[in-house]
Structure 1
Amino acid sequence: MDKRKFQETFNSTEYNVDKQAKRMTHQGSESLLTSPVELILTIFDKLSDFTIICSVCQVCTRLNMIIDAYPRYQALITLDLFYNKITDAGVKYLTSALLNNTTLTTLDLGCNGIHDDGAHHLASALQNNRTLTTLNLENAEIGKSGIASLAGALEKNTTLTTLDLGQNDIQSVGAQCLSSALRTNKTLTTMILNNNFIGNVGAKCLADALQDNTALITLDLTENNINGEGAQHLACALRNNKTLTTLNLRHNNIKDLGAKHLSGALKNNTALTTLNLEGNAIGSLGAQHLSDGLKNNMTLTTLNLRNTDIGDSGAKSLSDALRNNNTLTELNLGSNRIENLGAQHLAGALQNNTSLMELDLTFTGIRDEGVELFVLALQENVVGNILF
């Protein structure tokens, strides 16, 4: 940002600075070199965080010295611009600032129409920025071209750890670009890709990357039109991956076949601790497959099977697994058609299980008689919380 634009920013009456400050700013850019530091700091206090980062830094050497010592700037590590109508033009100014900024660690641009052009600008900054660790681009109207640019930046960036690209238009082509980046990136630990239409092809691309990636810990693929085939690709990756701890597949369509593949992976995987399959109609057969995996798995602690249509039969299968499994601590079976028969099996398993701390049975068909069975089971079990 040059002196003229900075001066125009200060001259704006929207900041409501005092008369002395206004007189100073109307004298021309020379005043920036001679005005008292106290007066400049007074003006800084009237500016938004966005204006300070985009309009104040790199104007001139004197202002740089002042801003570097300005306590508010020193403490500015998070810039929240969520749903602020920031367009690709605004992002262009912001990314110019990111090239020199050394304080910002978190940037939230979610729900802004930055589009592909804005993503291109951000990618350029990410290649050189050395402080930003968290970037939220959720629902930012970014398409395949913008994702390709961001993926290219990830191959060079060495500081970003969390990237939220949820609710954009990545599709399988974008997933392929991100897959290439994950093969070389050594720092990204969390990638959120929910609602991006990546499908089975995209799932395969990401699964292939997980075979080589040793940094990613959390992968969110909620609502991505992934069925049993896509689950099979991911399961293959889980057999060899040693770092991914959380996999979110909520509201996909993996069904019992996908559950079967994931169950096979659970028998060999030694890293995954959280698996979310909520909203996948795996049915009782899928629950049976997962039960087989849980009997041999020693690392999974959280399993979400809410609204998966497992019924009493599925509850029985999972109960059999709970009798042998001693690592699962949270199990969500809510919004399933589990009635008193299923409750009988689960309550029986709890009498032997010593690891489960929370069991969610909300919005099921369990009635008073079933609840009484759990009351009796709790007399011999340390489950901390059962939700009905």
Structure 2
Amino acid sequence: MIPPLVKTLKNKGNSVGMKAEQAWLILFLLHQPIPNHPSLSIFRLEENRLSDSCTEDLAFAVNTKWSLKDLNLSNNKLGDTAVRLLSVALRNQECKIQKLGLADACLTGSCAEVLVSILDTNQSLTDLNLSSNKLGDSGVKLLCGALRKPDCKIQKLGLSAVSLTASCAEDLASTLHANSALTVLNLSYNKLGDSGMKLLSKALRNPDCKIQRLQLCDTGFSALSIQHLASALSTNESLIELDLGHNKVCDAGVKHLSEALKDQDWKIQKLRLDDTCLTDSCINDLVSALGTNRSVTELNLESNSFTDQSIPKLQKLIINCSSLDRIELWKNRFSSTGENRLKSLQGIRRGLSVVLTSC
């Protein structure tokens, strides 16, 4: 007996891989019309040790289930061949998939042209995650060509850890300039460096750039880049989340960033500066800037080198920045007494979290 069809079908994290009979059942449910049941709209098969051997059946199912909106095949060993087979279904004009997850799916730059063909023809796709694949500069340059086209509807794009360097920064920058639909971009864990950041910062200054969430964790830039970024932030009115973690921002970089933070028009709500080589020497600049800021709700300063010397200033920051709901300070160099002084601020404002442990 076929179980009732549901709107969401999940089979995440099966450590031994999906059994054949289970896979056939899911595929049957995906394309079998059953009267008086809601349509399946979410199909998640991440972490199931799927390979390209099942892709033809999956593509057939996707090609016949037009109610499907969310397809997540991340963390499977699909490879480029699988994407080519799936692309037939994804290019179909009847395909209504809006969210496609292909992170860590063993893809390379060789499948970039296929991905481009999907972007060129699929008018429903708004959320695409390609993170943790070896696309490389050449593959992403091809993707950027499609992303710059006026008909491209992509709003969220995951390109974390896809083997990028500064060589593709100009293409990424021109995409930010041309694609006003793109609001969320993850470029973390790529080797963009200071030269790449300079080009991206220039794009952020453009009024046509509508990025709201930008993740740049561990992209290999230094304090030099923050000067260019701060200049961009002073004119950008759309950015509300910025992740600069695991870069060598240093105290000098925070000084540049603080000048932008003082701007009353700055809209940043969530700011990550974890593991960015900060010390007590930058705390005055940080507190001075955030003391007048009324937009920041989350601030991450974990894994830096702040000591008890910074605690009075941090207390002042937490008290005076009335918009602040969460501040993460764990893995700094506070004494147990210092940590207790910070923890004592936990209840001064409803909903305020002062985080000093990883749990």
Distance, in Å, in 1 between the alignment partners of 2:163 and 2:187 is 10
- Unpaired stretches in structure 1, ≥5 consecutive residues: 1-13, 19-39, 43-47, 59-66, 68-72, 364-386
Q: For each residue in 1:281-334, what CA deviation from the matched residue of structure 2 results, as whole angstroms up to 9, or x when unmatched? A: 111112222111111211111100001111112222222333432211111111
Q: For each residue in 1:322-364, what CA deviation from the matched residue of structure 2 results, as whole angstroms up to 9, or x when unmatched? A: 343221111111111112563576478779x64761101227x
State the SS of the aligned residue for 1:209.
Answer: helix
Counterpart check, 1:261 vs 2:253: no
**Gap change, CA 1:41 and 1:354, over 3 Å in 2:** closer
Distance, in Å, in 1 between the alignment partners of 2:133 and 2:344 is 49
Distance, in Å, in 2 between the alignment partners of 1:161 and 1:283 is 37
Alignment of 1:1-388 (within 5 A): 41=32, 50-51=55-56, 54-55=59-60, 67=64, 73-100=65-92, 101-156=94-149, 157-212=151-206, 213-268=208-263, 269-339=265-335, 342-343=338-339, 346=342, 354=349, 357-362=352-357
- Give the C-alpha shift of residue 49 in structure 1: 9.1
Distance, in Å, in 1 between the alignment partners of 2:260 and 2:55 is 46
State the SS of the aligned residue for 1:296.
Answer: coil
2:4 aligned partner: none
Distance, in Å, in 2 between the alignment partners of 1:222 and 1:297 is 23
Distance, in Å, in 1 between the alignment partners of 2:77 and 2:183 is 29
Distance, in Å, in 1 between the alignment partners of 2:115 and 2:87 is 6
**Gap change, CA 1:56 and 1:296, over 3 Å in 2:** closer
Query: Is 2:308–2:333's contact at 8 Å kept on the other side of the alignment?
Result: yes
2:46 aligned partner: none
Which TM-score applies when normalising by structure 2? Answer: 0.79
Letter in structure 2 aligned against 1:167: A
Query: Is 2:62–2:68's contact at 8 Å kept on the other side of the alignment?
Result: no
Distance, in Å, in 1 between the alignment partners of 2:235 and 2:181 is 19
Larger Cα-atom Rg? 1
Distance, in Å, in 1 between the alignment partners of 2:55 and 2:102 is 12
Structure with greater helix percent? 1
> What percentage of residue pairs aligned between the two structures are identical?
30
Distance, in Å, in 2 between the alignment partners of 1:362 and 1:113 is 35
1:383 aligned partner: none
Q: For each residue in 1:174-208, what CA deviation from the matched residue of structure 2 results, as whole angstroms up to 9, or x when unmatched? A: 22211101101011111111111111111111111
**Gap change, CA 1:344 and 1:336, over 3 Å in 2:** same
- Unpaired stretches in structure 2, ≥5 consecutive residues: 1-19, 25-30, 34-52
**Gap change, CA 1:56 and 1:108, over 3 Å in 2:** closer
Q: For each residue in 1:12-31, what CA deviation from the matched residue of structure 2 results, as whole angstroms up to 9, or x when unmatched? A: xx889x9xxxxxxxxxxxxx
**317-326 or 163-172: bigger deviation:** 317-326
**Gap change, CA 1:51 and 1:310, over 3 Å in 2:** same
- Give the C-alpha shift of residue 52 in structure 1: 5.5
Q: For each residue in 1:219-277, what CA deviation from the matched residue of structure 2 results, as whole angstroms up to 9, or x when unmatched? A: 11111111101122211111111011100111111110111111111001421000001
Query: Is 1:112–1:141's contact at 8 Å kept on the other side of the alignment?
Result: no
Query: Is 2:126–2:155's contact at 8 Å kept on the other side of the alignment?
Result: yes
Q: For each residue in 1:60-104, what CA deviation from the matched residue of structure 2 results, as whole angstroms up to 9, or x when unmatched? A: xxxxxxx3xxxxx13322222223222222222222322214221
Query: Is 1:228–1:253's contact at 8 Å kept on the other side of the alignment?
Result: yes
Letter in structure 2 aligned against 1:98: L
Distance, in Å, in 1 between the alignment partners of 2:71 and 2:323 is 39
**Gap change, CA 1:57 and 1:135, over 3 Å in 2:** closer
Which TM-score applies when normalising by structure 1? Answer: 0.73
Equivalenced residue count is: 312
Taking only aligned residues, the RMSD between alpha carbons, in angstroms, comes to 2.9
Distance, in Å, in 2 between the alignment partners of 1:199 and 1:89 is 32
Query: Is 2:170–2:200's contact at 8 Å kept on the other side of the alignment?
Result: yes
**101-110 or 201-210: bigger deviation:** 101-110
Distance, in Å, in 1 between the alignment partners of 2:319 and 2:116 is 50
Letter in structure 2 aligned against 1:200: D
State the SS of the aligned residue for 2:231.
Answer: helix
Distance, in Å, in 1 between the alignment partners of 2:127 and 2:346 is 41
- Give the C-alpha shift of residue 133 in structure 1: 1.5
**Gap change, CA 1:78 and 1:350, over 3 Å in 2:** closer
